C-alpha cells in the first residue's frame, strides 16, 4: 500500500481546455500518460476528475492502464450536472459509465457537482449513493461546493464525508467561516481546489484580459509579497495552503510533465508561520468578483 499524501492531481486539463492562464491547451494522450505516470512516481495516488470534464475520464482510464496502476489508483469523479439525481437508474448507469471509462473496479469517491443537491439530499440521492457504497462500487460520497454557507450545510449533512471547495492565498472565505475547523471536528475530509485560482494568481498583472483588470492591484500586491520574502508565486501559494490548512487534501492540475514536477517541488517548500499571518492580514477580504470564476464575465 502506497503512503497517502496530501496532493491530488486534478485532471480537468487532460480532458479539455481549462484555466485562464492555460496557453498550451489539452495535452495529447502520450503527454497525459506521462503526467499520470510522473504523478504516481512522485507519490500522488489520488486523481480528481468529473463526467463534465470533456474526455478526462477516458484519458485517465487509458493512462492508468498504460502505466499499470488501474488496480491501485484512487479516483474521485463527479456526476454530470445533467444527470437526474432522483433517478436511481440514471445514477447507476452514470456510475457504471465512469467505472468503464476509468477502467477501475471501484471509485474512491463520487461527488455531486451541483451544491443545490444539499437541499434535497435526504429525499432520494443519499439513499442511492449509500447503496453504491454498500455494493462496494464507491468508498466515499460527497459534494462540490462554491460558498462557505454551502460548505457548512454539507458538514451538517448525514453521509457526506468528502467536500470539495475553493481556497487559496487570496480566498480565505472558508477559513473565516470556520469550515476547516468544523470539518476536522466531524472527521470529514476537505479537498481544496483552485489553489492557483485557475492560474490567475500566477499571471503577470500586465497580461490580464480587460475584463479582469480589477484583479491587477491584488496581483501586484501578491507579487510584491512574494519578492519581499524571496518566494516564487507557486511556492508561496502552495506553502500557504500546506501550513494554514494542514488537514486538507490539495488539488492541482498540470498541462505538462514539467509543470507537475515543478508543483511537486514547490509543495516541499516550508514557509514560516509569520508568513502565514502576514498573508492572512494582507489578503483578509478580496473582492468576490476576483475570487469566483463564475463572476469573471
Q: Does domain 7-295 have CATH number 3.90.1150.10?
A: no
Q: What are phi and psi of 173, to 5 degrees?
A: -60, -40
Query: 20 falls in which pLDDT band (50, 70, 90)?
Result: very low
> Rounded mean pLDDT of the chain?
93
Model confidence pLDDT, tens digit, residues 174-227: 999 999 999 999 999 999 999 999 889 999 999 999 999 999 999 999 999 999
Model confidence pLDDT, tens digit, residues 86-98: 999 999 999 999 9
* pLDDT score, position 297: 74
* pLDDT score, position 25: 63
| 22 pLDDT above the threshold of 50 | no
Instruction: Provide the residue ranges of all domains of the chain, joining segments of one domain with +.
Output: 7-295
| 54 pLDDT above the threshold of 70 | yes
* pLDDT score, position 1: 41
DSSP 10-77: E-HHHHS---TT--S-SPPHHHHHHHHHHHHHTT--EEE--TTSTTHHHHHHHHHHHHT-TTT-EEEE
Over pLDDT 90: what percentage of the chain?
Answer: 88
Can you give the pTM of this predicted structure?
A: 0.93
C-alpha–C-alpha distance, residues 65 and 83, integer Å: 27
* pLDDT score, position 82: 94
| 2 pLDDT above the threshold of 80 | no
- For residues 264, 234, 188 and 152, what is the CA-based torsion angle, rounded to 10 degrees? -160
Model confidence pLDDT, tens digit, residues 27-42: 899 999 999 999 999 9
C-alpha–C-alpha distance, residues 255 and 244, integer Å: 27
Higher local confidence (pLDDT), 24 or 31: 31
Over pLDDT 70: what percentage of the chain?
Answer: 95
- 277 exposed, middle or buried (CB, 10 Å; 0-12, 13-18, 19+)? exposed
* pLDDT score, position 27: 82
Q: Region 265-270: what's the mean pLDDT?
A: 94
* pLDDT score, position 24: 53
Rounded to the nearest 5 degrees, what angle is found at the Cα of 121, between the Cα atoms of 117 and 125?
90
* pLDDT score, position 198: 86
Amino acid at each position: 500500500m502506497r503512503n497517502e499524501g496530501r496532493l491530488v492531481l486534478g485532471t480537468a486539463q487532460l480532458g479539455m481546455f481549462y484555466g485562464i492562464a492555460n496557453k498550451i491547451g489539452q495535452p495529447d494522450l502520450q503527454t497525459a500518460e506521462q503526467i499520470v505516470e510522473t504523478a504516481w512516481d512522485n507519490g500522488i495516488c489520488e486523481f480528481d476528475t468529473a463526467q463534465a470534464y470533456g474526455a478526462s475520464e477516458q484519458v485517465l482510464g487509458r493512462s492508468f492502464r498504460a502505466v499499470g496502476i488501474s488496480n491501485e489508483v484512487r479516483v474521485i469523479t463527479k456526476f454530470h450536472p445533467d444527470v437526474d439525481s432522483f433517478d436511481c437508474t440514471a445514477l447507476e448507469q452514470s456510475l457504471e459509465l465512469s467505472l468503464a471509462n476509468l477502467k477501475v473496479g471501484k471509485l474512491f469517491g463520487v461527488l455531486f457537482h451541483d451544491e443545490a443537491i444539499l437541499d434535497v439530499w435526504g429525499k432520494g440521492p443519499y439513499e442511492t449513493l449509500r447503496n453504491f457504497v454498500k455494493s462496494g462500487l464507491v468508498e466515499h460520497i460527497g459534494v462540490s461546493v462554491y460558498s462557505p454557507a454551502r460548505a457548512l450545510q454539507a458538514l451538517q449533512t448525514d453521509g457526506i464525508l468528502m467536500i470539495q471547495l475553493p481556497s487559496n492565498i487570496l480566498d480565505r472565505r472558508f477559513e473565516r467561516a470556520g469550515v476547516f475547523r468544523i470539518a476536522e471536528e466531524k472527521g470529514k475530509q476537505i479537498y481544496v481546489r483552485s489553489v492557483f485560482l485557475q492560474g490567475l494568481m500566477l499571471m503577470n498583472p500586465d497580461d490580464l484580459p480587460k475584463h479582469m483588470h480589477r484583479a491587477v492591484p491584488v496581483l501586484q500586491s501578491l507579487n510584491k509579497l512574494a519578492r519581499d520574502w524571496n518566494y516564487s508565486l507557486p511556492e508561496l501559494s502552495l506553502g500557504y495552503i500546506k501550513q494554514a490548512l494542514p488537514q486538507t487534501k490539495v488539488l492541482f492540475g498540470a498541462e505538462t510533465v514539467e509543470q507537475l514536477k515543478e508543483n511537486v517541488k514547490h509543495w516541499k517548500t516550508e514557509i514560516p508561520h509569520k508568513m502565514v499571518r502576514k498573508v492572512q492580514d494582507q489578503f483578509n477580504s478580496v473582492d468576490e468578483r476576483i475570487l469566483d470564476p463564475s463572476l469573471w464575465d
